[in-house]
Amino acid sequence: MAPATIKDLARKLNLSPSTVSRALRNHPDISSETKKRVLQLADELDYHPDSIAQSLQTRKTKTIGVIVPEIKQPFFAAVINGIEALAYDAGYTIIVCQSNENYEREVVYTRSLVSHRIAGLLVSLSRSTFNLEHFKVLQRRGIPIVFFDRVSDQIGASKVMVDDYQGAFDVVNHLVGVGYKRIAHLAGPKNLSISLNRLQGYKDALIQGGLRYAEERVVYGGLDDTDGLIGLQKLLTLEKTPDAVFAVNDPVAVGAFTVIKASGLKIPADIALAGFSNTNLSGLLEPPLTTVEQPTYEIGKAAAQLLLEQINHDGDYFRPKTEILKTHLIIRSST
């Protein structure tokens, strides 16, 4: 049996299709009794609105696209929860795509979401993204974009991020304050905003603490535990090995943790260790990991809120906004 349409409902109720349509949208001009009759029959016939037909008429859907580097990361999973909660309350659904840290995939998914007539796009950049032209195309087509966590100054768009600089400064300042002198940093990719801001926080905390910034104590890499494994192994080959390590995030810190333990060294007696992001695993290590907590759920809600504001903006020009959320240092036994 073919699915019921507005015309089917109108014929059975002896109403015009426009009256049925307005009743389904809870229009104030339609009486309560008529609305009740329409909704009851719609339920009986299992009627569902044709979102594709609606999008052809309005050139918009009630769908928001979301592109993240990796869904498996607890950080992004929590952010998506925040996005979905706010989107659902506003009557929107979300489509989530994973770039898998790959620029080409990011481009393909962006184009695919456009073909689905999304109302707007939320993006956290992949670590291999240098060119943002695929997002500028969306802006030229009038599709709102909001970047979160991994953002770029190459494009005029709203952004939501945490204060990566201050979070890194706080954790390194703590290491300096408890007496560590040779503090190394397992840094992230050089092109990512989060990596650069956390690196700068690390540098400034050392200098303000009266310590020398040493380039050889900074190892650049990715954002996974394997990067922590490789990075810590390099640090252990230095003539003067570090007495403390600050990792760009908790997964990298976990990789470093594994190497330290395998080398027969003790944490924090031989090497102190700190991360960033406060994943579930960080508190389960032995010793538990000192880290920086990010308000992940709130990041998602804030990004969705900025996007909805832009979607619903009536004017010709929307001024991009930037929201920076605070972090919180969590001191544990690893330092």
Tokens of 43: 């339920």
Task: Look at residue 131 and tell me whether its pLDDT is greater than 70.
Answer: yes
What was the pLDDT predicted at 57? Answer: 47
H/E run at residue 66? strand 63-68
Per-residue pLDDT tens digits for 24-71: 877 888 898 898 888 888 888 877 665 545 544 445 689 999 999 999
Percent of the chain at pLDDT exceeding 70: 95
Where are the domain boundaries for CATH 3.40.50.2300 in the chain?
A: 62-162+296-325, 164-293
Per-residue pLDDT tens digits for 205-228: 999 999 999 999 999 999 999 999
Tokens of 166: 């201050």
What are the phi and psi torsion angles at 226 (to 5°)?
A: -65, -30
What was the pLDDT predicted at 109? Answer: 95
Percent of the chain at pLDDT exceeding 90: 73
- Radius of gyration, alpha carbons of the chain: 25
Q: What is the Cα–Cα distance from 284 to 290, expressed in whole angstroms?
A: 11
H/E run at residue 155? none
Task: Look at residue 291 and tell me whether its pLDDT is greater than 70.
Answer: yes
For residues 220-245, average pLDDT: 96
Task: Look at residue 9 and tell me whether its pLDDT is greater than 90.
Answer: no
What was the pLDDT predicted at 58? Answer: 47
Buried/exposed 214-224: b ≥16 CB within 10 Å, e otherwise: eeebbbebbbb
- Spacing of C-alpha 78 from chain mean position: 8
Q: What is the Cα–Cα distance from 248 to 216, expressed in whole angstroms?
A: 16
Structural contact between residues 303 and 325, judged by C-beta atoms closer than 8 angstroms: no
CATH topology for 62-162+296-325 is: Rossmann fold (3.40.50)
Class of domain 6-49: mainly alpha
Which CATH architecture does the domain made up of 164-293 adopt?
Answer: 3-Layer(aba) Sandwich (3.40)
**Mean pLDDT, the chain, as a whole number?**
91
What was the pLDDT predicted at 59? Answer: 53
Task: State the DSSP string of 195-250.
Answer: HHHHHHHHHHHHHHTT----GGGEEE--SSHHHHHHHHHHHTTSSS--SEEEESSH
Q: Pick the residue with more confidence: 165 or 40?
A: 165
Where are the domain boundaries for CATH 1.10.260.40 in the chain?
A: 6-49
